[in-house]
Amino acid sequence: NPASPILQLSEAKVAYGQIEAVKGISLELFPGELVSLIGANGAGKTTTLNAVAGTLQLSAGSLRYLGEPIGALPAHKRLRAGIALVPEGRGIFTRLTVEENLRMGAYTRKDRAEIEADLQRVYDLLPRVKERLAQVAGTLSGGEQQMVAIGRALLSRPKLLLLDEPSMGLAPLIVEKIFEVIHTVMKQGVTVLLVEQNANLALGYSNRAYVMESGKITLTGSGQDLLHDPKVRSAYLGEV
């Protein structure tokens, strides 16, 4: 790849006290890619995303974003620099309206006209959300809440969007819609790092993927190659 990476983790470790959850992983994302991180429960995927977003710190190794070391930056500064996280469970403000939730995503910004333009773009991307702007977010379906969470993250104008299990707990039809939205966001130029249990769907949409097992990366390749890899099929796609 001729471009330089937007994100680069080298020999990165993350620990919770004595427990090392991420045990020295190296991965890189290039601008415009959709890359997924798949693997079983407890493999360290969420921990990795949180270390990139800055809600957790590395205990060893390095993290570079746009060529710069950012391991020492607090999460809000990473957000301002263009790294947005849609957390596991979505982190919606349930008592605020949909529109208030979306506007929260722009809280670090002062460019009012651009914020309004970005809101319109999010409405175009998410017509179901647009229909429900005045609704209290806690009364939305899980799928709609996931859409709001993605829309809110886009209001920060990310260069790198981190998505943690966007399909969690949702019906297959709405999951498919959410993946179409993620794909559109990538097509619009946002680099995406996606953590997913639904390996089948994630690999189908991803340019590349990394497989994590017990805190390590054990396999990497294109989405299509991994989708057809016998080890991946037996371990993560429920085949014998």
Residues that bind ligand ATP (CB under 6 A): 16, 19, 21, 39, 41-47
Nearer to ligand ATP, 35 or 115 (CB): 35
- CA gap 139, 40 in Å, rounded: 31
CA 1 – CA 32 distance, rounded (Å): 12
In the bound state with ligand ATP, the residue whose beta carbon lies nearer, of 38 and 115, is: 38
Give 36 or 47: the residue with its C-beta nearer to ligand ATP. Answer: 47
* Residue 112: both structure tokens together: 């009012």
Helix ranges (H only) for the chain are 45-53, 75-81, 98-104, 112-125, 127-130, 142-154, 172-187, 199-205, 223-227, 230-236
Q: Minimum CB separation from ligand ATP for residue 114, in Å?
A: 34
Please provide the DSSP assignment of 43-82 as one string: SSHHHHHHHHHTSS--SEEEEEETTEE-TTS-HHHHHHHT
Q: Which is nearer to ligand ATP, 17 or 189 (CB)?
A: 17
CB of 26: closest distance to ligand ATP in angstroms?
Answer: 17
The CB-of-194 to ligand ATP minimum distance in angstroms stands at: 12
Query: 122 vs 209, which CB is nearer to ligand ATP?
Result: 209
86/126 with CB nearer ligand ATP: 86
Give least dist CB 130 to ligand ATP, A: 31
Nearer to ligand ATP, 101 or 198 (CB): 198
With beta carbons less than 8 A apart as the criterion, state whether 121 and 102 touch: no
The answer to whether the CB of 9 falls within 8 A of the CB of 62 is yes
Closest distance of CB 53 from ligand ATP, Å:
13
Which tokens go with 221?
Answer: 């390749």
Q: How far is the CB of 136 from ligand ATP (least distance, A)?
A: 28
The pairing of strands 160-164 and 83-86 is: parallel
Rounded Cα distance between 70 and 4, Å, is 16
Question: Is the distance from CB of 145 to CB of 136 less than 8 angstroms?
Answer: no
Q: What's the min distance (Å) between Cβ of 60 and ligand ATP? A: 16
